[in-house]
Every structure is written in C-alpha cells, then in structure tokens.
Chains A and B, each alone.
Chain A
Amino acid sequence: MKVNAAGRWVPDEINNHPIIPYQGVGKHIPRGRKAAPPVVSCANYPTDGDKVIPTLRQALKLAGLRDGMTISTHHHFRDGDKLTNQLFDTIADMGVKDIRWFPSASFPCHAPIIKHLESGVVHHIEGSMNGPLGEFCTRGKMKGQGVLRSHGGRYRAVQDGEVHIDIAVIAAPTADPFGNANALYGKSACGSLMFALADSQYADKVIVVTDNLVPFPCIPWQIQGNYVDYVVVMDEIGDPSKIISGTTKVTRSPARLLIAELTARFIKETGIMKDGFSFQAGAGGTSLAFVVYLKRMMQEAGVKAGWVRGGSTKYLVELLEKGLTGAILDGQTFDLDGVRSMRDNPNHVWTSPFTSYSYHGKGHFASMVDVVVLGATEVDTNFNANVVTHSDGVLLHGIGGWQDCLFSKCTILAVPSFRGRIPIIVDRVTTLCGPGELIDVVVTERGIAINPRREDLLEAVRGSSLPIRPIEEIKEEVEKICGGPPVPPKVDKNRVVAAVQWVDGTVIDVVKMKID
C-alpha cells in the first residue's frame, strides 16, 4: 500500500498487476508505443465479403474463446441491451470460465451476470458497476477486483495496451455481411457505435451482432468492416423502448429546476455565454432543464453557441435546428430526435471517446469546451468529488465521461445540497474520482460555491444577484438540516474490491469491501 498524490491509500497491485499511483493532474507521462492487433491477411477472409456465421456460439468458437479471456461489450443500448446476457449464457454453456468482462458500461438489465460471477464464468468486471452489480462487487463477492475507468480512460487503456481485448462483441442496429455497421437505422437505432471504436481497432477478434442485416454496403459505416472477423444475425439484441431511456425528461422537481436555472444564470452572468461559446451537459433531468433555461437566455440575449457536446436529446437538436448552435459533437444519443438529427443533419456529428476524451492523444475536445455541467454523488470542501459510490460506500454509478469532462474551461457540478437525508457536501469524499483543482463551481439549490482558485469567476459574479456562498457555509447549513454529517461506511481496510483509475491510467482511489 502507498499514498498517492491525492492522499489516498492505494495497493501495489490490482488483479495481481502492479499499478501506478495517481501522480497529480498531467504529471504521469506515458512512454513506449501503442498496442497493436495482430497482422492479418485477406487470404484468410472470404473474398465475397460474406462473414456471416450462423450462430453466436459458432462465432465465439471460431474466435478461439477459452478460459481467462477478455470479452468486451458496449452500452449503446443502455438498459435495453439484450445481447450481453445472451452472450454470457452462451459462454457459460460452452463451459468457459474466468472471463474478464470489459463493458463500456453496465446497466441494471445486466443483473443476470451475477449468476455468472457466482459460478466463475466471469472472473471480474472492468467497467462501470451499477445497481445489483455494484452491490455484489462492494460486498466483496466478485472473484477479481473491479476496475473503473472513464470513457476516455477506457479508450486509452486499450490503445496503451493496458487492457488487451481478446474478443469484442459489438451489438449493431444495422450491419452488412462484411461487418460495416451503424446505429442510425434499424429497430434498435441508438445513434452511434463509437464506444466500440477502440475494440474494433485493437481486439484480436471482432464479432458484429445485428438484428438488421442489410446488403453491402451498409452506409454510413461507423464501425468499419475491415476490422471485423464475423457477423452474426440474431432476432433480438435490444429493447427499443429501453434503448431510448426514460431519463431524458426535464425534471419536475422544483429544487432541481432551481439548480438548473441558477446554473444557466451563472453561465450567463459570468459572460461565458457569448457568441461562439461551447458547452456540454448530460441527459439527466437537471441537465435537460439547464439546457431549456440556457436556450431561453441565449434567445433573449441573441447569443449563438459555436458548438455543443452531446449526449444529445431533442433539446440539443432544437438548438441546432433553430440555429442556436453551429454543431452538435455527439458522444451518445439519448432519444429518437437525436438519432434522426444525427442521420439527417451534417452538423450533428458522432464523436468517439478518442476524439472527445482520450488523455493519451494529441489533444482532446473535452479541454476545448467552455463550460460543462455535471453531476456528482459527493463533493468535499476542497471541491474533490465522487461519482461512483454514495456516502454509504456502495458502488452505484460508472464514471462515464465525467472525469474526461473535468478538463473543460469551467466545470460545474449541479447537484442538490442533500438527497433524502444525505448531504452532498462532505469533509472527505467516500471515493475520490475527480481532483478539486479541476472542479470550479458547485451549484446547489441553497447557493453557488466557487472554487477559490478561480478568482476570475469570483470576480465575474461580483455584484450579481446570484447566491454565491462559501462551500463550507452551504455544508454547515445542510448538516444542520440533516442532523449532522453521514457516518462513514464500515469497510474491511484490507479488502480492495475495486480500483478507480484517473484518465491517465494511474489509480486515484479504491473501493473497499463494505461490512455492515
């Protein structure tokens, strides 16, 4: 065990591999060359381009599936994913064990994976662990240790050779027999397939699974067939009603509406909202409300954004169609308006974790965004924040693009000051995911706290009617309401169940086994 640059104890090894402790923002400089997949030859692939294999089981067999391999999947279908569970049922049926599952994210629909974790088919998960999987892992029931990475961190890990994918299984709403695939058409259309980009480029074997096989050429190809080994057609790989999730509704909670409005006003009154500016907000109810307020303010002031970053929804599409933004650079698409716009509007472009987020590239979009609005489960008085566990220490969310987005010119956490009875502002976050030096503003319904490092922002709001308050003051008020700070979770100090990586692959914190 050693203490990393953020003051957190981290082990020497995770899953028996040595780790690099977090060194500070921009401090760890990588060396060496990128990973590379094996050289292959057209001589070994059908000259007519038909790579269709009758069943997933046969494709896995042809791909050389065996014990201990790393299998990747992707969360483009969100909670409507029907492929991953079928995939692991098949792997179990083939008698294979100790798989490292490397999803780009997991959802509550993946709870059935627990039985494969219990039986030893899956050894451990490297990816987000939500809901039942998070509970399972936090209770120390997983054979190996979990590793949590951001979207950019996942791309980077594959590119750097930190994670070698043996078989990538890509669920594609539309594909042709050659393996070209997109997510713009078909009953499971979900926008883009870019979370699978690294997998297609670097995995040893790539299987595309589709429920909508079209004749060559599948246009446009988001995933290039030249990377693909096998194509499998299945009846049902997604549930369209859950792919377009119910989370994309503007909140009706008055407190959250207030947070959203204060956030928009902050951006306006600091002068960040000006012609040509850029912003990113997620698809949660508060973020959507924020976009609605900001749009109104932009219209009133006659301001147009240069570009905005998705997760796109109909609210961003409206901005684009009304000429209030020049472009949408979209990481994932949350509703059908978003899918339609991406398909039809040349200024609505899909981006990948490589272009947007990966820290080991020649720059990334994230740092060019003027302002980003994010959530968090906890934030401390030094603006360090948590996004993976709640104060009870149980893994509940993935990192998503959250860490990557912190590099924006102004990072705002828009959060309620307490949830139920649990204060959000604490002395020390349960799990550290983002360093305070990158977090500039915390907007709550009880006031806006600005990181004292950002003297420019403090200066910009001087004299405004915004409720600017020291973060300690909001914390004290909320603790009074909630009856004191939450008691930290009881954990087994010697049992690390998961590691949280920083964007550069160093370990910023760990999650320990909960024991009450």
Chain B
Amino acid sequence: MVVNAEVGKKGESSDCWVRLELLPRGGISLKLKSKVGSMYGDSIRGLAKEMMEFFDIENASLEIEDEGALPFALKARIESAVKKCLPSLKKEFLGEVLSENLYGVERDRFRRSRLYVPGDQPRLIINSGLYQPDGIILDLEDSVAPGEKGSARFMVRNALREVDFRGAERMVRINQLPMGLADLEFVVPHGVHTILIPKCEDERTVQEVDAKVQSLQKEYKVKGEIYLMPIIETALGVINAYRIATSSPRVVALTIGLEDFTADIGTERTKAGEESRLARQTVVLAARAAGIQPIDSVYSDLADEEGLQESVREAKALGFEGKGCIHPSQIRIIHQGFAPTEREIEWAKRVSMALAKAQQEGKGVVALGNKMIDPPVVKRAERILKLAMLNGQLSADWKGREDES
C-alpha cells in the first residue's frame, strides 16, 4: 500500500505545506521544517502525533514545511492530507468552538458591508473580524483554485469554529452545485450564519441548498437559523429574480455579481455601470417585493476611493442596503456611504415622535404635519434611527434628550 497526498503551498506565510504518505510498516516518521521551530516545534510535533493517533494512522511519513501557520490552519492542512489519503474516513478532528463565537444574527440585521476572504488563506481570515464589516464571507468558490477546494473546506470549517469574528455575520460562499452541496457539510454544523449561493438562476438551486441545510441541521442538531443569500450572476438569474427571492423562507437578501453578469450579457463592466442598471434595479425590486434586502455587487478598483464613494452613493439611491468588499479598506467608505444623512435622521426622529404621540393618545392614525404616515414609512424611519445609533450619529437615549430640550 502506498498512498500519498500533498496539501498547501510551500513558502506561503502563516500557512504550511503538508505531505503525508501512508506506509505498510515502520511507524510514524515526522519531518518538520518550521520558521518558528525553536518556539513552536514541540507544539507542532505534538499536534501531528495527536492527529495521527486520532485518525488511527500507525505507519506513515509526514512532512511539514511550516511558515508560522496558526493552529487552526495547521490542523486543517494535516486533516486535509489525511482525508485525501483516506477519503472514506468520517471522523473529524474538531477544535472547541470559541466562546466568543456563540452568537446568532437577526434576520434583518444590517448587511451594509460583506468582506470576501479567500477560504484557503488563513493569514487573511485571522484578522478579518478586526475591520468590523457587517459580514465576513469565507469564500470556497472563485478565490480558491480548483486544486485547493478540498483543503479550503477544512480551513473554513476550522475558522468558523476557532477564529473570533467579533460579532460579524459568518457567511460562506459555497461552490456552484453540485459541489456546493458537499461544501455544506463543512459549514452547516460549525456555526455558519448565512450561505451565499453563487450563480443562482432559478428557485430550484435555492431549494436544493435549503433541503440539504435542513437535513444537516437535523443530523447535527444545529440550533439557530441558517440564512441564504442567492447571488444573481446571469441574465436568466435576473429574469427569475423574484422567484429566487421567494424560493425559501431562509432567503434574507438578494445580491448581484456584476463581473460574471456583464460577461453573460456579452459586454464589459464599466465604471458608470449603464450596462447593468436594469439588472440591478430588477434585483432591488425583486428583493423589496419579497420583503428581503437588496445588496449590491463589489467595487473592484481598490485604489479608487472616490469611485467607490460614488458607487455607494448610487447603490443607496437605487435602493440597495449594502455592497460587497474585496479589501478591508473599503468597509469604512461603504459604512459612511450608507450612513443616514442629518436630514434623514431629523425626519426619522419626527416620524418616531409622531408615532409615540399617537400611541400615547390612543390614536390609530399617525400623522406628521398634515401627512398620514403608513407602516412602510414608519419601518424605514425606525431603520434609519437604528443605523444612526449603530454609527454613533445618534445616542441611544435621544428621545429623553429631546424631551428635556
């Protein structure tokens, strides 16, 4: 019997390369070359030994070239090598779930920014929560090379359990189906909040994901909601947007991926975005009609801060509630762009006070001046106030202060 597997890349900082070869005899031989060998060599050797025992591997040669990989990454690489050699092995080497990560998220929470992080780059994953995006997308799809897909699943699974995401919504973008269905086994039992489904063209894709999520939730007794966010990236997807938006109660937001969309309709993506305006507006309408959040695509020119500002301004004007980010430096600009203006805040305060007054007086009808206020308007005002408070533009006790003055 000779079976061997290699995972990871040599020389990748904060990561490691692992080669495992199963042998018929001779016990375990470990060859470790580590940049942090004098400080963490014993720890790495101990971990490798523990994992070989856990997976009942008695005879093997294990080579590790380590560039200072953190434990969650080391474990993912080693387990990935083991499972490449022994694909039928069901056992999982799982770390404790970080107590800081035991939080759920609300269905209609703010999703102004979602930061894409390649699922196989532990160096970028570890700090992603520090930049305070509303959501962090551990990506298994486009940012992961085909040969790394398997290893990335273990990395994402371990990250969901062991990396502190500091209150961000934990999102995972799975691969296109059917590969995406297998991805779900690595994320549903491990604390994912929201699954992004790429290249969604009809409701059946969403429903397949929904069914698999449900069965995994049952199998692993996963508590808490798991939401879905379909990404529309084709002309057909745009045409079917409303059906996609209403395909499952788990769908909380609908978004559009413009790189692939523009290619699909046979044109190029421009800064002005004329080619995708109808599609984006269709997504907004479909999402609003379905009572979920419309979220805009990413802005891919990292160096162009002003372009991003303009793009956020436009997205907000079209009715979008958020944008994707490909770099942490975009987060603040996006949050600033979606922040309510002074005028919006003042208006929302007046609506809120009018509502309170009507309730106090036992009136069924709310009026602002001589204008009637309907529930969607009240809802929008409440959301503006909530966001203003989140941004620190408005203090939580603003009502008390207004009464005093």
Interface assignment of B43: CB less than 8 Å from any CB of chain A: yes
Q: Which of B39, B40, B69 has the most CB of A within 10 A?
A: B39
A140, CB-defined interface residue at 8 Å: no
Q: A392-B38, A420-B14 are in contact. Are A254 and B68 (CB under 8 A)?
A: no
Q: Which residues of A contact B328 (CB under 8 A)?
A: 254, 257-258
**Shortest beta-carbon distance, A512 to chain B, in Å?**
14
Residue B36 at the A interface, CB < 8 A? yes
Q: Which of A254, A477, A484, A490 contacts B127 (CB 8 A)?
A: A254
- A-contacting residues, B10-69, CB 8 Å: 13-14, 35-36, 38-43, 67-69
B18 to chain A, nearest CB (A): 16
B349: interface (CB < 8 Å):
no
CB within 8 Å of B: which A458-516 residues: 465, 477, 481-484, 486-487, 489-490, 516
Residues A483 and B68 in contact in the complex (CB < 8 Å), given A254-B127, A258-B131: no
Q: Which of A257, A484, A516 is the one whose CB lies under 8 Å from B329?
A: A257
Residue numbers in B under 8 Å from A100 (CB-CB): none
**Closest Cβ–Cβ distance, residue B39 to chain A (whole Å):** 4
Q: In this assembly, does A273 line the interface, its C-beta being within 8 Å of a C-beta of chain B? A: no
B329 and A254 contacting across the interface, CB-CB below 8 Å: yes
User: In the bound complex, do residue B69 and residue A421 qualify as a contact, i.e. CB atoms below 8 Å apart?
Assistant: yes
Given A422-B36, A481-B70, A481-B126, A487:B42 Cβ within 8 A: yes
Closest chain B residue to A394 by CB distance?
A: B38
* A421 with B40, Cβ < 8 A, contacts A254-B329, A257-B329, A465-B392 known: yes
- On chain B, the residues within 8 Å of A486 by CB distance are 36, 39-40
| Any A CB within 8 A of the CB of B71 | yes
- Please determine whether B67 and A420 come into contact, CB atoms closer than 8 angstroms: yes
Binary per-residue interface labels of chain B (89-109) against chain A in the complex, 1 for a CB within 8 Å, 0 otherwise: 000000000000000000000
Q: Are B68 and A420 in contact (CB under 8 A)?
A: yes
Taking CB atoms, residues of chain A closer than 8 Å to B35 are: 420
Asked whether A421 and B14 contact (CB < 8 A) given A483-B40, A516-B38, the answer is yes
Chain A residues within an 8 Å CB radius of B131: 254, 258
Q: Does A391 contact B (CB under 8 A)?
A: yes
Given contacts A258-B131, A421-B69, contact A487 B126 (CB under 8 A): no
Interface positions, chain A 439-468, Cβ under 8 Å from B, are 445-446, 465
CA distance A393 to B392 in the complex (A): 45
- A19 contacts B by Cβ under 8 Å: no
26 A-B pairs within 8 Å (CB atoms) are namely: A254-B127, A254-B328, A254-B329, A255-B127, A257-B329, A258-B130, A258-B328, A392-B39, A420-B68, A421-B40, A421-B69, A421-B70, A422-B39, A465-B392, A481-B70, A481-B126, A482-B70, A482-B71, A483-B71, A487-B38, A487-B39, A487-B40, A487-B41, A487-B42, A487-B43, A489-B39
A476 to chain B, nearest CB (A): 12
Q: Identify which of A257, A483, A486 gathers the most chain B CB atoms within 10 Å of its CB.
A: A483
Chain B residue numbers with a CB within 8 Å of A393 are 38
Q: Is the CB of B40 within 8 A of A489?
A: no
User: B residues 111-133 with Cβ under 8 Å of A?
Assistant: 126-127, 130-131
| CB closest residue in chain B, given A445 | B130
- The chain A residue with its CB closest to the CB of B98 is A480
Q: Other CB < 8 Å A-B pairs besides A257-B328, A420-B36, A482-B70, 9 of them?
A: A254-B131, A255-B130, A257-B329, A392-B36, A420-B35, A422-B36, A486-B39, A487-B40, A489-B38
User: Which residue of chain A has the shortest Cβ distance to B123 in the bound complex?
Assistant: A420
Report the separation of the CA atoms of residues A422 and B130 in the bound assembly, to the nearest whole angstrom.
18
Nearest-Cβ distance from residue A378 to partner chain B, whole angstroms:
12
Docked-complex contact B127 and A422, CB < 8 angstroms: no
Scan residues 255-275 of chain A and give those whose CB is less than 8 A from a CB of chain B.
Answer: 255, 257-258
What is the distance, in angstroms, from B130's C-beta to the closest C-beta of chain A? 5
Q: In the complex, what residues of B have CB within 8 A of residue A487's CB? A: 38-43
Complex alpha-carbon distance, A486 and B67, angstroms = 15
CB of B117 to closest CB in A, whole Å: 11
| CA of A258 to CA of B13, assembled, Å | 20
Q: CB of B327 within 8 A of chain A? A: yes
Most buried by A among B14, B38, B40: B38
Contacts A257-B329, A392-B38; A421 near B68 (Cβ below 8 A): yes
Q: Which residue of B lies closest to A488 (CB)?
A: B39
Question: If A254-B127, A255-B130 touch, does A483 touch B70 (CB 8 Å cutoff)?
Answer: yes
List CB contacts (< 8 Å) of B285-332 with chain A: 327-329
- Among residues of A, the one whose C-beta sits closest to the C-beta of B47 is A483
Which residue among B36, B43, B69, B71 has the maximum number of chain A CB atoms within 10 Å of its CB?
Answer: B36
* B72 → chain A closest CB, angstroms: 9
**Do A422 and B68 touch across chains, with their CB atoms under 8 A apart?**
yes
- Chain A residues numbered 126-162 whose CB sits less than 8 Å from any CB in chain B: none
Nearest chain B residue, comparing its CB with the CB of A514: B38
- CA–CA, A484 and B70, complex, Å: 11
Which 8 A-B residue pairs are closest in the complex by CB-CB distance? A420-B68, A486-B39, A254-B328, A421-B68, A483-B71, A392-B38, A421-B36, A255-B127
| Complex-state Cα separation, A258 to B43, whole angstroms | 30
Chain B minimum-CB-distance residue to A480: B98
Shortest Cβ gap from A391 to chain B (Å): 6
Known: A483-B43, A486-B40. Contact between A445 and B69, CB under 8 A?
no
Find the B residue at minimum CB distance from A255: B127
What residues of B have a CB within 8 angstroms of the CB of A446 in the complex? 130
Q: Considering the chains assembled together, what is the distance between the CA atoms of A393 and B38 in angstroms?
A: 10
User: Inside 8 A of B127's CB, which chain A residues have their CB?
Assistant: 254-255, 445
Given the complex of chains A and B, what is the CA–CA distance between A446 and B132 in angstroms?
12
Q: State in angstroms the CA–CA spacing of A270 and B153 once bound together.
A: 45
Q: Which residue of B lies closest to A487 (CB)?
A: B39
Contacts of B36 in A (CB 8 A): 392, 420-422, 486
**Contact partner of B43 among A254, A419, A481, A484, CB < 8 A?**
A484
In the complex, which residue of chain B has the Cβ closest to the Cβ of A254?
B328
Contact indicator per residue, chain A 223-259, by CB within 8 Å of chain B (1) or not (0): 0000000000000000000000000000000110110
A391/B43 in contact, CB under 8 A: no
Nearest B residue to A416 by beta-carbon distance? B127
B385 shortest CB reach to chain A, Å: 19
Known: A487-B38, A487-B40. Contact between A420 and B13, CB under 8 A?
Answer: yes
- CB contacts under 8 Å to B, within A408-439, are 419-422
Q: Which of A379-406 contact B (CB under 8 A)?
A: 391-393
CB B158 to nearest CB in A, in angstroms, measures 13
**Measured CA separation A421–B126 after assembly (Å):** 11
Q: A159 to B164: give the CA distance in the assembly, Å.
A: 53
Residues of B within 8 A of A482 (CB): 40, 70-71
Q: Which residue of A lies closest to B72 (CB)?
A: A481
Nearest CB of A to B394, in Å:
14
Question: In angstroms, how far is the closest chain B Cβ from the Cβ of A23?
Answer: 32
A197 CB to closest chain B CB (Å) equals 40
Chain B, residue nearest A447 (CB): B130
Closest to A490 in B: B38
Rounded to whole angstroms, the CA-CA distance of A234 and B20 in the bound complex is: 57
Residues of chain A lying within 8 A (CB to CB) of residue B42 = 487
Note all chain B residues with C-beta closer than 8 A to A419. Answer: 68
- Cα A449 to Cα B105 with chains together (Å): 30
Contacts of A489 in B (CB 8 A): 38-39
In the assembled complex, the CB of A140 is this many whole angstroms from the nearest CB of chain B, namely 16
Q: Which of A257, A393, A421, A465 has the most CB of B within 10 A?
A: A421
